[in-house]
């Protein structure tokens, strides 16, 4: 896999943080866990249940030698999400995410979680609106 990075950009590879000082292309010739800086979520941005799940999986990807604590938090959070969620698309997505995490395919799990962000946003927007029948 070939990755192009801009000057000053970071990439997280198997727990190591690399920052390049100039534009560069890197070819990863073996199987590694990596995350581009643009895909990294800051703790302050984990403002919804699904974004918190993303952050937990991200921790597992960024520190693959010590996933125990993050995995325990993930398992609790995932179970809680599944217990309260009624949306079929979200439940199916959470099931797929759990399979990916179980197979240590964290990058794919993060992609799947990102794909559910609009679904979560729609659910939250629907919960925030008041039905005209409720207002009467």
Claim to verify: residue 34 and residue 47 sit in the same structural domain: no
Is residue 49 located within the same domain as residue 27?
A: no
Asked if 90 and 34 sit in the same domain, the reply is no
The structural domain count of the chain equals 2
Give the pLDDT score at 128. 58
- 97 shares a domain with 62: yes
> Are 26 and 52 in a shared domain?
no
User: Do both 32 and 48 map to the same domain?
Assistant: no
Residues 108, 66 share a domain: yes
Its domain, for residue 21, covers 1-40
Query: Do 91 and 60 fall into the same domain?
Result: yes
* Predicted local distance difference test score (pLDDT) of residue 50: 96
CA distances from 130 to 26, 32, 48, 112, 133 (A): 51, 47, 20, 30, 8
The per-residue pLDDT for 131 is 46
CA-to-CA separations, 22 to 1, 8, 56, in angstroms, rounded:
20, 7, 31
Residues 78 and 89 in one domain: yes
Q: Give me the chain's average pLDDT, please.
A: 88
Model pTM?
0.80
Sign of CA dihedral 3, 100, 58, 48: positive
Of the pLDDT bands very low, low, confident and very high (cuts 50, 70, 90), residue 130 is: very low
Domain match, 48 and 94 both: yes
Q: Which residue has the higher pLDDT, 131 or 110?
A: 110
Q: Are residues 21 and 56 in the same domain?
A: no
pLDDT digits (tens, 9 = 90+) for 107-121: 999 999 999 999 999
- pLDDT, one tens digit per residue, over 68-100 is 999 999 999 999 999 999 999 999 999 999 999
Residue % of the chain over a pLDDT of 90: 57
Q: Please check whether residues 111 and 90 belong to one and the same domain.
A: yes
């Amino acid at each position: 896999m070939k990755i192009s990075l801009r000057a000053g950009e970071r990439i997280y590879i198997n727990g190591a943080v690399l920052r390049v000082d100039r534009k560069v292309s890197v070819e990863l010739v073996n199987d590694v866990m990596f995350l581009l800086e643009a895909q990294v979520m800051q703790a302050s941005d984990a403002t919804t249940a699904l974004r918190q799940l993303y952050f937990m999986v991200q921790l597992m990807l960024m520190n693959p030698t010590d996933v125990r604590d993050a995995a325990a938090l993930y398992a609790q959070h995932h179970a809680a999400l599944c217990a309260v969620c009624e949306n079929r698309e979200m439940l199916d997505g959470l099931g797929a995410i759990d399979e990916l995490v179980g197979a240590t395919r964290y990058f794919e799990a993060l992609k799947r979680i990102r794909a559910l962000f609009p679904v979560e946003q729609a659910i939250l927007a629907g919960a925030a609106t008041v039905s005209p029948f409720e207002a009467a």
